[in-house]
Structure 1
Amino acid sequence: MEKIKLRALKVSQPLGDFFVISVKASILKKISFSEPLTYLTEDGVLKGSQRPINEKRLNEIGKYIDTAEMTFPNSIILSVNNNEDGSIIENTENRWELINENNEYFLEFPPDIKSASIIDGQHRLKGFDYINDESRLDMELLCSIFFDLPNPYQAYLFATINGNQKKVDKSLALEQFGYFIENESNESWTPEKLAANIARKLNFDKASPLYSLIKLAPIYNNDDFIQLNKANWLISTSAMIEGILSLFTSNYKRDRIEMMNKKIFYGRDRKMLKNLKDSSPLRDEFLNYKDDYIENVISTFFKIVNEKIWLKVDNSSHLKKTIGIQVLFDLLKESLKKNKVLNPSIIDSISNVDFSDNYFQASGVGKTRIRNIIFILNKLKSIDQIENESDKVAILRLIK
């Protein structure tokens, strides 16, 4: 399947880099989707699984699109590399990619895969279903593209962009992702809400080893994207949130749906999840509201990583890349399952490995290789479990 390639303009802002492209409405309709939003009344009652469609407004938009002087100068905001179930697309053939050709940026993406979640602008795009002039589908639309945007941040952007709308509408998106904007008790927080808050605190606390390093970026490293930030290494927000989530839930969407069966201010509580089977190591701490403990475990772990590894290596180390962060979370999770408390020696055991070696690469294969070495050194895996002989030779060379 040949990908579509479009010229892009890079925009750098505090939240992270995003890209602006112009794409035909017909193409955008094929590749995009709107996250189903749960309707919330003003007293916090859930009323269904879809945000109500305003047919009158869509008819008006369709008629406007048919006019001779129509224009949509504002951009449609998309998060790309998202599946419709909220997960991140892993298959590289199905992912959007950033390409740098002589300092000119291009985005490539598959033409027939739903890979772009609409954060803002769904009514404008839906209006094309109500047109009479089919030639309007060839019209180009301005789009702002974020890579691998986690669900809580999609909700946050939606609420911020639409901040002048009535309270129930702002709450709608945030509630869908467990990211309600009001100061509700942390007892009612979904796993995603807690993970997003921990990630933000680690990013904004100047004493944190992750201070100002967590940015909106592709969860799977893209060399051209890395070059944009070569002056300072960064960690994908999505990878960070998914790593945090893995410590206290094996299925955050299931947990969110279960908790949303009750009103946010009238009975919603993490205890609603106590009968669900989940072997995540910090599950009990999550269910018992020990958020500070969870945050401290994560912060302490990365302080040790920082002292033992990050401060001693340059940015070529794959432990300073998203795939390395993912494996470090895997290590933390499996270690906590085994010992229940944080054991600093799990970092000591890997501190002498050269993770910038050519054996590693910023891809799925590279992630597997990093994981194999880290797990073997921590006795979570045996060298005998490595089937490929060349991999065995490389691993033995690196851990000698």
Structure 2
Amino acid sequence: MKEIELSEQTIEFKCIKCTQPLGTFYIGVMGHSDLVKISYADIRRLEAGNEMRDIEIYSGIQRELSPNRAKEIGKYVNMVDATFPTAVILHINQENAFYDENTSTIKVPFRDNVAKVLDGQHRIAGLEYFTKDDNAFQINVTIFIEMELEDQAIVFATINKTQTKVNKSLVADLFAFAEKRSPQKTAHNIVRALNEKVGSPFYEKIKILGTANDKEKETITQATFSESLMRYLSKDIMTDRDIFKRGKTPEKYQGPDLLARPLRNLFIEEKEILIAKIIWNYFEAIRLKWPVAWQIVAPEMILNKSTGFLALMKFFRDAYVSFNKIGEEVTLNEFREVFESIGLKDVDFNRTNYLPGTAGQAKLYSELISKSRLIQT
């Protein structure tokens, strides 16, 4: 590496040298605003090739940035327990980096487009939303110097090929360890209770991680149930969790917000048992209305699987608020009245009538609304 022009503004930080089969790279820590300033993403794009041969050339290695994902991360970085424990990976050309062996520091110009992002562009984009002081959020970085473009592409491809998405049910299950309240923890506790309580309409029907129930009876994943329930507890799950972590209590809802999420205030009042009872009564009414379709586990049946369950969870709001008793228990018999006029039979809940996925869910929900004669609010 060469010495940088003395007149140019630079940033300097500690690094350790690491050698692996691919070559040598440097591991250090940078302040978030410095990282945002010097980094850039080389987006994969189609360029004009040799006109004589009509060759199309792709350049760049990164995927397009997702603005929604960046905003989501931008919200996360301002949470009380935000963390990025894995390294952002950068490539810097030799003329823009100087490593001092004696002090184990690396010096780079403090200007735009110095460090190409090989992994972490969404994290960096999210850090632009960080509201604290400059460089208050430190980021561990891995820096490659003067790496061939082919090797850069291999690093990017290897990282993204070998990454495994975390099982959503595992994420839901891990909230059991949380000390503070949150929509996630409440949903986890309720789902677990409904799965374990003898007599529950969900008894041993939920796929809970780490349990050895009868797998042939399990039709709904823990994550699917938890995510559906949380929609009725909060319109901003991350913010609510952050407020609890800071020792405060999120606000209750009123008006349209409460109509959309009618279990919200029960959640804020820590009435998890009552929430579980309401959900129990609702699905017990469904089990009594369609006992075969609810209990039977067969490839062609959908009522007790995600297609049917998600439609039923959407219909829950309409059924519950129709009694004008938000914040109170709606009894089993009251919920049974809702389903009384619905003429669907057990055999109707099949994959032919309701295709797996959002189309089948939407069709079933629409029919539940129309056949129950509920007035949508």
User: How does the TM-score come out when normalised to structure 1?
Assistant: 0.48
8 Å contact from structure 1 (residues 318, 324) kept in 2: yes
1:104 is aligned to none
Distance across 2 between alignment mates of 1:144 and 1:154: 14
Distance across 1 between alignment mates of 2:278 and 2:266: 11
Deviation string for 1:188-234 (max 9, x for gaps)? 522222112111222333443223332379xxxxxxxxxxx995451
1:293 is aligned to 274
The Cα of 1:296 is off from its aligned counterpart by 1.1
Q: Summarize the alignment of residues 1-400 of structure 1 with structure 2, pairs less than 5 Å apart.
A: 48=80, 50-51=82-83, 129-132=142-145, 133-134=147-148, 135=151, 137-138=153-154, 140=158, 142-146=162-166, 149=168, 153-154=170-171, 179=175, 181=177, 184=179, 189-215=181-207, 231-232=216-217, 234-260=219-245, 262-263=246-247, 268-269=248-249, 272-274=250-252, 278-279=257-258, 280-312=261-293, 314=296, 315=298, 316-339=300-323, 340=325, 341-342=330-331, 343-350=335-342, 352-353=344-345, 354-356=348-350, 358-380=352-374
Gaps of 5+ in 1: 1-25, 40-45, 60-112, 115-125, 158-178, 218-228, 383-400
SS in 2 for 1:273: coil
Identity %: 19
The Cα of 1:325 is off from its aligned counterpart by 0.7
234-243 vs 371-380, which deviates more? Answer: 234-243
The Cα of 1:181 is off from its aligned counterpart by 2.4
8 Å contact from structure 2 (residues 201, 283) kept in 1: yes
Letter in 1 for 2:313: F
Letter in 2 for 1:239: T
SS in 2 for 1:319: coil
Distance across 1 between alignment mates of 2:321 and 2:173: 33
Distance across 2 between alignment mates of 1:203 and 1:47: 32
Distance across 1 between alignment mates of 2:216 and 2:86: 47
RMSD of equivalent CA atoms:
4.3
1:118 is aligned to none
The Cα of 1:369 is off from its aligned counterpart by 0.8
Gaps of 5+ in 2: 1-60, 91-120, 123-138
Letter in 1 for 2:144: I
Letter in 1 for 2:265: D
Residues 1:239 and 1:310: Cα distance change in structure 2 (over 3 Å): farther
Residues 1:248 and 1:337: Cα distance change in structure 2 (over 3 Å): farther
8 Å contact from structure 2 (residues 79, 242) kept in 1: no
The Cα of 1:372 is off from its aligned counterpart by 1.0
The Cα of 1:366 is off from its aligned counterpart by 1.3
8 Å contact from structure 1 (residues 327, 367) kept in 2: yes
Deviation string for 1:313-366 (max 9, x for gaps)? 643232122121111112221111110224222233336331216232012221
8 Å contact from structure 1 (residues 209, 306) kept in 2: yes
2:4 is aligned to none
8 Å contact from structure 2 (residues 253, 264) kept in 1: no
Distance across 1 between alignment mates of 2:62 and 2:199: 46
The Cα of 1:249 is off from its aligned counterpart by 2.9
User: How does the TM-score come out when normalised to structure 2?
Assistant: 0.51
Distance across 2 between alignment mates of 1:275 and 1:372: 27
8 Å contact from structure 2 (residues 207, 219) kept in 1: yes
The Cα of 1:304 is off from its aligned counterpart by 2.7
8 Å contact from structure 1 (residues 372, 381) kept in 2: no
Letter in 1 for 2:282: F
Deviation string for 1:87-115 (max 9, x for gaps)? xxxxxxxxxxxxxxxxxxxxxxxxxx98x
Distance across 1 between alignment mates of 2:285 and 2:206: 18
Distance across 1 between alignment mates of 2:351 and 2:243: 45
Deviation string for 1:287-315 (max 9, x for gaps)? 22211111111122222322332435643
8 Å contact from structure 1 (residues 246, 333) kept in 2: no
